[in-house]
Amino acid sequence: MKLTRMTFFFWSLMISGSVLTWGSQGKAKEPPPVKAALEVHEWGTFTAVLGSDGMLLPWYQSGLTSAEELPEFVPSLFSIPVRKGAQAWTVRMETPVLYFYAEEATDLDVRVGTQKIAVTEAYPVGERISTESQTGLERSAGVQSSWGWKVRILPPDDAVGKLMPKVGERGAHYAEARAVPDAWWVEAQGIDPVDGTKRREVEKFIFYRGAGAPDMIPRGWPIGDHKVMMRRDEGPAYLIRVGKDGLHWRKEAPREEEKQENGIVMEPGQEDGLGVEALVQELEVDLARAGLTEAEAAAMVATWRTSWLEEEGLRILEVLPRALVDAVLPLQIRPQPSKLKRVFVGRWELMTREMMARIEAEMESGQEMEVVVDRLQELRLGRFWAAAMELLARERDRSFRMKTDSLVNALQTLQNNENSESR
């Protein structure tokens, strides 16, 4: 499978055009005020599942898993049309958080465009922005829908921090993002999702997540049980395999002269001897180079360490281009910060042909369903089972379609021959 340079050209043109529309046209119509002492840093993850055919797979989760659980005080936004557990989507936007730094208490209007990925949970909760309430900057950039927060940021030593809700056993990994001492408090007036009363919402950041189907080009795709064709790009990427024999990984960071190459075949294993802690350190360094502080980078890796580095499977982690993040998830903050860093990781979970063959063999073994389920549990696919079954069904459909196409061609050839003979 080859990704041509023409594909890259159109993809880059699409992203560049989206960012320019958001920036240049918006400034011409409504120049936002700039807060010189305001700095905002954001990190988040786009998670997608990729089949052995190189195509994205729609997937869903019918229940909560460790990676999905959130503390009780973070409500699901049932009033919006996207429910992550009730509908299959190709991309999950997981745990974006916005940290704020300033010199004085400041009121902010924060908005993210949601036409490509809808917000499904948030804290502070915020609200859907109606078309009538959109700014000229949003309208000129073609933003059709957005989710927003009106918050006040306060210094780290402010007593408002005592109101921050505690995190219990449920969604314990959520608390890792709070380990950024210099980040300012975020305060908002919200509505209790249970009784509808007003409540003060206090946190170290703005948290939100969601699901959608934006156009994204995968960094690589499986071509064997452990082998992957990796696309060359500017940002660093990690090929990771976790199995019964432990963690295996390899980093891809192409040199300048290699970036125009179509791709490289990779297999995790060259850095086997370095172990998990070395991989954690590498990830933190790359996230900091992309724009996060050391504390923010450590908080991000700590949040996702179990999911990224301990869940069995074959995956790619890459630091995504900023232009892609802006195109998929437009962000507007008023007053405008003097510095805005957005560092997102793309997580590509890979489904190999060998894995599909194992699943298909078990399903056709003639065993009782309970036996099949027990055997398939050995694959440890967790929340990605729906994607695996989607891929299997798609491959079976494709195989059947090839047979029917061949049959049609054979029948048409026979008919043409008979017609020729009859003349």
pLDDT in tens, 184-240: 999 999 776 667 778 899 999 999 999 998 988 889 888 877 788 888 777 899 999
CA dihedral 99, 104, 107, 111 (to 10 degrees): -30
Report the mean per-residue pLDDT for the chain.
81
Helix (H) or strand (E) run with residue 294 in it = helix 294-309
Task: Read off the pLDDT band of 25 (50, 70, 90).
Answer: very low
In this structure, are residues 221 and 229 in contact, taking their beta carbons and an 8 Å threshold?
yes
- The residue ranking higher by pLDDT, 95 or 388, is 95
CA 262 to chain centre: 24
Dist. CA 239–CA 333, nearest whole Å: 35
CB atoms within 10 A of CB 174: 19
Residue boundaries of the structural domains of the chain: 5-351, 355-422
Helices (H) and strands (E) in the chain, counts: 9, 18
Higher pLDDT, residue 392 or 179 = 179
Res 336: pLDDT: 95
**Which helix (H) or strand (E) is 325 found in, with range?**
helix 322-328
Q: Check whether 2 has a pLDDT greater than 80.
A: no
Contact 93, 44 (CB under 8 A): yes
CA atoms of 332 and 111, how far apart (whole Å)? 5
- Give residue 58's pLDDT: 84
Q: What is the DSSP string of 230-273?
A: EPP-SS-EEEEEEETTEEEEEEE---GGGTTS--EEE-TTTTGG
Joined tokens for residue 59: 């997937």
pTM for this model (two decimals): 0.78
pLDDT in tens, 121-130: 999 999 888 6
For 16-30, 42-56, 154-168, which range has the lowest pLDDT when averaged over its residues?
16-30
Residues 99, 153: Cα–Cα separation, whole Å: 10
Identify which of 90-94, 106-110, 137-141 has the greatest average pLDDT: 106-110
Amino acid, res. 108: L
Q: Residue 80 pLDDT more than 70?
A: no
Environment class of residue 164 by beta-carbon count within 10 Å: exposed (0-12), middle (13-18) or buried (19+)? middle
User: Taking Cα atoms as reference points, which of 109, 117, 124, 134 lies closest to residue 40?
Assistant: 109
How do residues 297-352 score in pLDDT, each as one tens digit? 999 999 999 999 998 889 999 999 999 999 999 999 999 999 999 999 999 999 87
206 vs 187: CA distance, rounded Å? 9
d(CA 269, CA 90): 29
Using pLDDT thresholds of 50, 70 and 90, give the confidence band for residue 380: confident
Query: How buried is residue 394: exposed, middle or buried, by Cβ count under 10 Å (0-12/13-18/19+)?
Result: middle
Residue 188's closest CA among 118, 98, 296?
Answer: 98
| Token pair for 368 | 């009782």
